[in-house]
Structure 1
Amino acid sequence: MRHPVDSIAWDTINHKWPAFASDPRNLRLGLATDGFNPFGDLSSRYSCWPVILVNYNLPPLMCMAKENLMLTLLIPGPKQPGNDIDVYLEPLVEDLKELWDIGVETYDAFSKSVFNMKAILMWTINDFPAYGNLAGCATKGKFGCPICGEGISSMWLKYSRKFAYLGHRRFLAPNHPFRQKKKWFDGNKETKGKPRPLNGLEILNVLKDIENDWGKKKMGKDINNTKKKRKERDGSKKGLLLRHNLDVMNVEKNVCENIIGTMLNLKKKSKDGVNARKDLRNLNIRKELHPQEKGENMYHLPAAPYTLSKKEMDVFCSRLKKIKLPDGYSSNIGNCVSLEERKLIGLKSHYCHVLMQQLLSVALRSLLPKGPRNAIFLLCAFYNELCQRVLDRNRLEQLEENIAETLCMLERYFPPAFFTISVHLTIHLAREARLCGPVQFRWMYPFERFMKMLKGYVKNRARSEGCIAKCYLAEERMRFCSAYIKKAACIGLRSNQNDDLENGVVEEIDPYIQMHIEELKQIDRRFSTHGPRKHVISYTGYIINGHRFHTIDVGRSTQDSGVSVEADTIWQSSSTDSHTVGRQSYYGVIRDIVLLDYYFSKVPIYRCDWANPGTGIKMDDGFTLVNLHQGLRTFENDPFILESQAKQVFYSRENDESNWYVLLKAPPRGIHNMDLLEEDAYTSSKPLDVSRLKINITEKEPYSRNECEGIDVIDIP
């Protein structure tokens, strides 16, 4: 799946409403809304809410581009609308109902005809708090998961004073060995099956006899009557497989903050502490981790499996501080690392995304005991595969099983306080991807960038919404007029050309295509007769297919010189082994970029230094390691590769004394390559091979770390 058109949800609409699906010009829309401060600062005292529609009829590269997002409403601040958002959405809802029930006459510029265009709202896209406001679902408390509903396994923690969402063994197969384990979890066997999400018709039947007092009482009956219309609208969507999306961006960020805050014991971010340990004592589980009283309000907390020692914290922070990332992959994450305080600060959503995708696994190599470390590795691998631009439906079914097992492994090691609603929502993300397609079309990143653009329109703090609306509409008019004028000029040019032709209409060839046709005509002559010019031009950088390549330069703040190539070759593992024929991966760095001039076209090639495939590459704990010092060499007969063969990689050094670097793959930015091979499409940026991570199902692994110092804390009642 590369686009929502490949999803089960799209196919369901085609099956249920064939008349609607018969005309591909009928629109399929998604609706997103979120609050932002239009003044550009970090204060949350002012919240302005744009309501944005996205058109899924467009191809992948254009679908989520900010110029194709439609600003339909702008809900003014300074306070967020909360549950009253229905009042503001009412005009838009009426328009959408008209587009679905009746349609609107629309001019088709391609066929030069008028047709009746209809539209369907496929789903909404929001962060989790806005999910509750827009969908009218509970997003906190005992039934905090809108997908599980009353079937969720939640637990009130007496000392942490919050709900924990555990019980993920219910999502495992009935014969899974984890279901029989008592000491690892809550002291009981698990016999329940996983909860089944309610469909739209079931939700409608549950709600039809309920009378809710919507809105604020002081605002009168008008708002209450308006709010009650929500039931009618939900009824019109009862045939959809998924009505509201969980936002992978915010879920991933919250999970990342939970892990890092707990491992580094960050104040107000850690899910461990005196109260979390008292909850373990209250539940009578993991006695090795119970708090030890040392005096009045003084406690000693033994080191848990997820606790990093001070030395391990230094290694973890140092790896993140020193890593250099490819240009365009991410901002310098080292700016968020404080080596002195041993903590990460100012982590924004994209930093957490990059950490969960690749960097967290690399930074944790050889740190922590194997059990909790592998659990974190598997969780990161899940998010990495979930966020690939190309998804395999069959593989997503396996992911649904894997994430249940991974969350159970986390339950074994981490305290119940760790399992906030965001950690639990991870269990549903693979299912939603299987139903609706890649997450890039259903998360908040494009809309966050769109709202950042809207902030730039605000020049007057007293009239912020007016500035946004006025400037946005002006820019839309300018873009439309510019495109219209260009189109009209092209039509006029073709008309003038046709006037000179005796036979009237001719097929016009794109000049770009015509140029390549001429190149193809000359290709045999070019290579067989002339060859390239004797003099070449050397470059230090080259941009292709969303990657920026540079020659190796230790002074750069980014790392763009890493390169890999795959080739069919013959190799011998040792002198006693026979020769093997197959596809071999080579890893190295770019030393020079040369542009060969073949008269009719120019061909860039890279001269590289390659790691020895025999002694310079090895596998360790699921990671590929490359020796970029002793193992690096130049193949005298074949140091060059074509730029079309090159795939960009980057490296993270184990430590300052080691010659070995962990290999990481850089995904292209802003490119939706439709020509990717299927086997490469959903493995383009995986940092480790999870098949090498084995799950230990013995009960001999201790819960406390004797080699790691504990924590002395003061508990003030």
Structure 2
Amino acid sequence: MWTINDFPAYGSLSGWSTKGYLACPNCNIDASSQSLRSKIGYMGARRYLPENHNWHRSKLFNGEIENRSKPVELSGEQILQQINLGTIDGKNKDTDKARLDLEDMQIRKELHLIRHANGSFQKPPALYTLSPAEQIGFYDFLQSVKYPDGYAANVSNCVTAKGGKLVGLKSHDCHLCSKTLRVTDLEKLQEQIILILCKLEKIFPPAFFDVMVHLAIHLPYEARLGGPVQYRWMYPIERMLSLLKGFVGNKARPEGSIAEAYISKECTSMNQLQNENSPKATDEMWSLANGPNALTNTCLGCICNGVQFHTIDRDNRRKCQNSGLVVKGDHEDQLIKFYGYLCKVWELTYLFGHRVVLFQCEWYNTGSSRTLRVEPHVTTVDIRSRWYKDDSFVFPSQVQHVFNVPDTKLRPNWRVVEKFQHRRIWDVPELDMPEFDEVLQDDENSTIVPTEPIDDVVVLRRDDIVPQIISMEVSQSNKRVQPEGVMDDAFICDDDDELTISGDDEEDEMENDFDTDTDLEF
């Protein structure tokens, strides 16, 4: 699954069918799949827990005790033998059939459909059901979120203004990628993803757990084998193809236009590199002694050490957020963090082509507990007041890139400040031979939020929401099948699933946001 292709293409290239009861290539013929009323479910995350874990004996998951061990990893010879022999044959997940699955499995009786005398059914609201006011607040929050460039997709475009649903949300919209990975962190993730899925199996219906949810168990193991995914996926190639396509000026001769524009771009880059090869000791000292040029340039953006910064004015016109920053400084003989945003980028030019870039910023007043709240894993800032207005200039090398999202618990003027590990995608060096020993390691420790324990007694039903009444008769005929193998007709296709929370299943077209402004790079 960790290739430059998506999961369906993985099945086409590898020869393993990624559909049906054995869709997981890692579990192979020992997959934990079962037939449901509307699809194939992949529960059974308890198999990956330690053998002495008490959840193996619990019946709160699927009404049965789990005695199976985790699937055995196949060797290369076994995989080749299978290839030679031939391959083995957003919607709302809380559907009416999902509730009937609970009744068939005789679990979570408080969520079963309640039959009325007139033939209709009452659907009790589950723990994860949102009220209309909560749905509106959730969509308003998604529409207000802005992420930095290259950090995540523009989720606000996936929220419809009317109808209350998410459309067009694809798997690559959820990618939060790191440039490096630590093996110790991946080992912790391997342990915690199993516990997380087990907790979800106690709350959500079995229809929620399709093969894509199940694959999360194998991702840490695949990451240890292959390293960071961005070195193997398709997106850089697609971006390069988009750049070459933009070079086409004559549609009758596209190859000539691409070749000519590419050569011109390479010549310009070469001239720039030659101008920067002057002796540093003499030229820099002499240029600084003469002072900067009286004509100063101001820019709306800057790229420093592979991190892209934008001014607040530019961010207000775009869907991404790249103006937030934090810097450490002295305040009353104490080293604190100053949170703020970028207002303007100043470029001071000197002799011999030397230049110095300064950031002019505004700082939020974080000097008291009334304007700054620090909690475990969360830092919240009041954005109404400012301070240190006379000390607004910093060097780009002194700041760290952050972004903020609205705090849903406090007043609208509070923002949750989020730090993230920079991918530094804007100046990735080109190496003739990759150094594999350094790909999976990082000098900085990343923080993994620990998984909190969950009680065995879970309240699965909400009494503060009006239950849904289903007017039409729901079919009760369904025979649950536990396959021992794969037959030619034992196949359920669930390709048409899409993520929604409520409303119709229509999809709205998304408008792409293109920004052609150029940034200052140094």
Alignment TM-score, normalising by the size of structure 2: 0.73
For 2:383, give the aligned amino acid: L
Say if 1:447 and 1:520 are closer, same or farther in 2 by CA, change over 3 A: same
CA contact (8 A) 1:288 1:704 kept: yes
Offset at residue 534 of structure 1 (A): 6.6
Give the match for residue 336 of structure 1.
158
1:641 aligns with 2:390: no
CA contact (8 A) 1:327 1:548 kept: no
Offset at residue 130 of structure 1 (A): 3.1
User: Structure 2 CA distance, aligned partners of 1:701 and 1:286?
Assistant: 10
1:20-73: CA deviations, max 9, x gaps?
Answer: xxxxxxxxxxxx9xxxxxxxxxxxxxxxxxxxxxxxxxxxxxxxxxxxxxxxxx
SS in 2 for 1:335: helix
Percent identical: 33
Q: Which moved more, 1:306-315 or 1:649-658?
A: 649-658
Aligned equivalent of 1:518, options 274, 279, 290: 279
1:396-447: CA deviations, max 9, x gaps?
Answer: 2222222212211221211100011111112111111110111113334346
Say if 1:165 and 1:435 are closer, same or farther in 2 by CA, change over 3 A: same
Say if 1:415 and 1:453 are closer, same or farther in 2 by CA, change over 3 A: farther
Offset at residue 705 of structure 1 (A): 1.7
For 2:226, give the aligned amino acid: C
Say if 1:313 and 1:680 are closer, same or farther in 2 by CA, change over 3 A: farther
User: Structure 2 CA distance, aligned partners of 1:535 and 1:454?
Assistant: 35
Number of aligned positions between the proteins? 455
**Structure 1 segment 160-239 matched on structure 2, within 5 A:** 160=38, 162-183=39-60, 185-205=61-81, 210=85
**Structure 1 segment 513-552 matched on structure 2, within 5 A:** 515-527=276-288, 529-532=289-292, 536-544=296-304, 545-552=306-313
Higher radius of gyration, 1 or 2: 1
1:101-157: CA deviations, max 9, x gaps?
Answer: xxxxxxxxxxxxxxxxxxxxxx96433333333322232222221211122211222
CA contact (8 A) 1:125 1:442 kept: yes
Say if 1:483 and 1:334 are closer, same or farther in 2 by CA, change over 3 A: closer
SS in 2 for 1:198: coil
1:623 aligns with 2:378: yes
Give the match for residue 301 of structure 1.
123
Give the match for residue 703 of structure 1.
460
1:567 aligns with 2:328: yes
User: Structure 1 CA distance, aligned partners of 2:260 and 2:317?
Assistant: 41
Offset at residue 281 of structure 1 (A): 1.4
Offset at residue 541 of structure 1 (A): 3.9
SS in 1 for 2:70: coil
1:285 aligns with 2:107: yes
1:432-486: CA deviations, max 9, x gaps?
Answer: 11101111133343465578799999xxxxxxxxx9xx989x469x7499869x9
Aligned equivalent of 1:587, options 306, 314, 339: 339
User: Structure 2 CA distance, aligned partners of 1:398 and 1:434?
Assistant: 12
SS in 2 for 1:565: strand
CA contact (8 A) 2:366 2:381 kept: no
CA contact (8 A) 1:278 1:290 kept: yes
Give the match for residue 430 of structure 1.
220
Unaligned runs of 5+ in 1: 1-31, 33-122, 215-256, 258-268, 358-383, 458-466, 488-508, 573-578, 684-688
Give the match for residue 82 of structure 1.
none
SS in 2 for 1:603: strand
For 2:28, give the aligned amino acid: G
1:281-334: CA deviations, max 9, x gaps?
Answer: 111111221111134442222221221111111011111223344467677543
For 2:360, give the aligned amino acid: R
Say if 1:694 and 1:292 are closer, same or farther in 2 by CA, change over 3 A: same
Unaligned runs of 5+ in 2: 430-437, 476-522
1:714 aligns with 2:471: yes
User: Structure 1 CA distance, aligned partners of 2:165 and 2:309?
Assistant: 31
SS in 2 for 1:609: strand
Say if 1:450 and 1:304 are closer, same or farther in 2 by CA, change over 3 A: farther
Offset at residue 165 of structure 1 (A): 0.7
User: Structure 2 CA distance, aligned partners of 1:336 and 1:449?
Assistant: 21
User: Structure 2 CA distance, aligned partners of 1:454 and 1:285?
Assistant: 57
SS in 2 for 1:604: strand
Say if 1:535 and 1:483 are closer, same or farther in 2 by CA, change over 3 A: closer
Aligned equivalent of 1:145, options 10, 17, 24: 24
User: Structure 2 CA distance, aligned partners of 1:399 and 1:310?
Assistant: 35
User: Structure 2 CA distance, aligned partners of 1:308 and 1:390?
Assistant: 37
SS in 2 for 1:618: strand
CA contact (8 A) 1:171 1:194 kept: yes
User: Structure 2 CA distance, aligned partners of 1:567 and 1:406?
Assistant: 36
User: Structure 1 CA distance, aligned partners of 2:25 and 2:291?
Assistant: 66
1:612 aligns with 2:373: no
Aligned equivalent of 2:413, options 649, 659, 671: 659
CA contact (8 A) 1:314 1:339 kept: no
Offset at residue 188 of structure 1 (A): 3.3
For 1:703, give the aligned amino acid: L
CA contact (8 A) 1:563 1:646 kept: no
User: Structure 1 CA distance, aligned partners of 2:301 and 2:13?
Assistant: 48
CA contact (8 A) 1:169 1:190 kept: yes
Say if 1:394 and 1:664 are closer, same or farther in 2 by CA, change over 3 A: same
SS in 2 for 1:644: helix
SS in 1 for 2:202: helix
Give the match for residue 310 of structure 1.
132
**Structure 1 segment 148-547 matched on structure 2, within 5 A:** 148-157=27-36, 159-160=37-38, 162-183=39-60, 185-205=61-81, 210=85, 257=90, 269-326=91-148, 333-347=155-169, 349=170, 352-354=171-173, 356-357=174-175, 384=176, 387-446=177-236, 474=255, 479=259, 512=273, 515-527=276-288, 529-532=289-292, 536-544=296-304, 545-547=306-308
User: Structure 1 CA distance, aligned partners of 2:159 and 2:88?
Assistant: 48
Offset at residue 279 of structure 1 (A): 0.7
Offset at residue 598 of structure 1 (A): 4.2
For 1:609, give the aligned amino acid: E
User: Structure 1 CA distance, aligned partners of 2:150 and 2:448?
Assistant: 27
SS in 1 for 2:139: helix
SS in 2 for 1:430: helix
**What is the aligned-residue RMSD (CA, Å)?**
4.2
Say if 1:319 and 1:434 are closer, same or farther in 2 by CA, change over 3 A: same
CA contact (8 A) 1:277 1:291 kept: yes
User: Structure 2 CA distance, aligned partners of 1:641 and 1:130?
Assistant: 48
Greater helix fraction, Structure 1 or Structure 2: 1
Say if 1:560 and 1:397 are closer, same or farther in 2 by CA, change over 3 A: closer
